[in-house]
Amino acid sequence: MRRLHDATAVKIGVAILIGLAPLVAAADPWRTSIDVVLRKKPGEHEPAVATLRAGTVVTVEAQDGRWLRVRAGDRVGYLTRTTVVDAGARASSGARGTWSADGKDVTQLATVTAAAPAPRPPEREAVPAPGALRATAALAYCSLGMDFTSDRAAGIANYLIAAEALAAELSGDATARLGERLRAGGDARVLVATSAPGPGISYTGPSAPSGDIPFSTVGADAGARVGMARGAFALALRAGFHYDAFLPRELANAGRLPREQLVGATLGARVDVAPPGSRFDVALRFDALAFGRRSQTTGLEDGTASRAGALWGRATIRYRLSERLSLVSGIELARATTHWTGASMRAAGVMRADRVDTVQLVQIGVSAER
């Protein structure tokens, strides 16, 4: 019985040594033989961690079937065995180590001689993949316009406004993987703009003395999305909530412009393009306001009831400076329409009015990712 136990122990020990042989042999540095995408988990459709150029030195840490877990600098991920070769090949023999075709072991074919190692090609920097969590801070320039018309022709019953403002934006975005191609995410942002140090809106009359109207605006958006990803592209449908406010510094301003709030639900779509191996990625977003309502300062309403709608289009380009930081630039176009009915408190005799608001925003900033 004792001999049987000893024989069994020897067999188990041999099996363990055979199983560990690839890992022991893989402890030495290896190099990628081609440009290859480093994956977060084993599988061709798993999220990309980085793109390693041909000749990148990697350390093999573990084996999972035909996949290897490797370390390249501070990045750890998975690639297939056939994409790496031994980094310690000798120039004298021309032989090199390689992962065997059947994937069961590592065959060292290099002949040990006194010759010096062959020169190593220069390493190419790996490109980090887009992060699943992202926070962005940006500065922006805003151009605002208001075109107000009513069923009266005199005084402040009709006006056309063009103004400029400086803005700051804080935003966050998260993406989660639900399946091989299914993705879900959420986003939120706050945008604050002010006409300072400029004069704001210049009112030239004629129904009241001319003057300047300094103002600020506050906007907030939050939403959730779900969609599909394939290769470099991801398409998602989005639903969310929108709020913005127009705030003249003084209510007793020259044009009797009220303070306003626009609220409503939003429905839209988002397209992300993130080519593997590229430092650039692009996000396109389109949203429409549903069930919108615009409220105004009591006593300065343009009607007793309002109905509002809006459309937004936004394009954002990111350039990854490092694994954690990206440079961000973007442009946003917005168009909102409001229809009032009932007696106006701001302009006597007005019973029906319409206004079209436009916003053009250009931003630049930085984002932190993980």
Q: What is the pLDDT of residues 39-60, one digit of tens each?
A: 988 888 788 888 888 889 988 8
pLDDT at res. 3:
45
Per the structure, how many domains does the chain have? 2
pLDDT tens-place string over residues 231-251: 889 999 999 999 999 999 998
Q: Mean pLDDT throughout 29-48?
A: 87
pLDDT of residue 42: 87
Which one is predicted more confidently, 33 or 267?
A: 267
Domain shared by 183 and 248, yes or no: yes
Q: Say yes or no to pLDDT of 333 above 90.
A: yes
| For the chain, percent of residues with pLDDT exceeding 90 | 47
Q: Residue 369: what pLDDT?
A: 87
Same domain, 98 and 182: no
Of the pLDDT bands very low, low, confident and very high (cuts 50, 70, 90), residue 61 is: confident
What is the per-residue pLDDT across 339-363, written as a single tens digit (0 to 9) for each? 999 999 988 889 999 999 999 999 9
* Mean pLDDT of all residues in 95-119: 38
Confidence (pLDDT) at 208: 63
Tokens 């105004």: give the residue.
296
Q: What's the CATH number where 92 sits?
A: 2.30.30.40
Residue 207: predicted pLDDT = 61
332 shares its domain with 235:
yes
Domain match, 305 and 354 both: yes
pLDDT at 108: 38
CB atoms within 10 A of CB 300: 17
Cα–Cα distance for residue pair 298/352, rounded to 1 Å: 18
Separation of alpha carbons 86 and 357, rounded Å = 64
Confidence of residue 11 (pLDDT cuts 50, 70, 90): low
Q: At which of 93, 128, 163 does a domain end? A: 128
Query: Do 178 and 112 fall into the same domain?
Result: no
- Give the pair of three-digit tokens for residue 61: 């840490």
Q: Across the chain, what does the average pLDDT equal? A: 81
Q: Which of 97-101, 184-188, 220-224, 313-317 has the lowest mean pLDDT?
A: 97-101
Instruction: Determine the pLDDT at residue 88.
Output: 60
Co-location of 6 and 142 in the same domain: no
> Which residue did the predictor score with more confidence, 191 or 179?
191
Mean pLDDT of the region 187-211: 84
SS (H, E, C) the chain: CHHHHHHHHHHHHHHHHHHHHHHHHCCCEEEECCCEEEECCCCCCCCEEEEECCCCEEEEEEEECCEEEEEECCEEEEEEHHHEEECCCECCCCCCCEECCCCCCEECCCCCCCCCECCCCCCCCCEECCCCEEEEEEEEEEEEEEEEEECCCCHHHCEEEEEEEEEEEEEEEEEEECCCCEEEEEEEEEEEEECCCCCCEEECCCCCCCEEECEEEEEEEEEEEEEEEECCEEEEEEEEEEEEEEEECCCCCCCCCCCEEEEEEEEEEEEEECCCCCCEEEEEEEEEEEEEEEEECCCCCCCCEEEEEEEEEEEEEEEECCCCEEEEEEEEEEEEEEEEECCCCCCCCCCEEEEEEEEEEEEEEEEEEC
For residues 61-86, average pLDDT: 86
Of the listed ranges 7-16, 29-38, 279-288, the one predicted with least confidence? 7-16
CATH number at residue 225: 2.40.128.100
Task: Tell me which of 96, 128, 160 is where a domain ends.
Answer: 128
Q: Which of 109, 128, 147 is the last residue of a domain?
A: 128
The range of the structural domain enclosing residue 121 comes to 2-128
pTM: 0.65
Task: Quick: pLDDT tens for 119-142.
Answer: 444 444 444 445 588 999 999 999
pLDDT band at 276 (very low <50, low <70, confident <90, very high): confident
204 pLDDT more than 70? yes
More confident residue, 146 or 110: 146
Omega within 30 of 0 (cis) for the link into 197: yes
For residue 315, CA distances in Å to 137, 186, 312, 327, 330 come to: 16, 17, 10, 14, 6
- Give yes or no: residues 166 and 260 share one domain: yes
Nearest CA among 76, 72, 68 for reference residue 26: 68
- Across 163-167, 205-209, 364-368, least confident range: 205-209
Looking at residue 180, what is its pLDDT? 83
Judgement on whether residues 179 and 206 belong to the same structural domain of the protein: yes
For residue 220, give the amino acid letter.
A
- The gap between the terminal CA atoms of the chain, to the nearest Å, is 57
Could you tell me which residues are beta bridge partners of residue 306?
340
pLDDT at 63: 82
pLDDT for res 231? 83
Please determine, for residue 95, whether its predicted confidence score (pLDDT) is greater than 50: no
Q: Based on the domain organization, do 97 and 153 belong to the same domain?
A: no
Same domain, 328 and 193: yes
Do 164 and 242 have their domain in common?
Answer: yes
Q: Say yes or no: 36 and 149 in one domain.
A: no
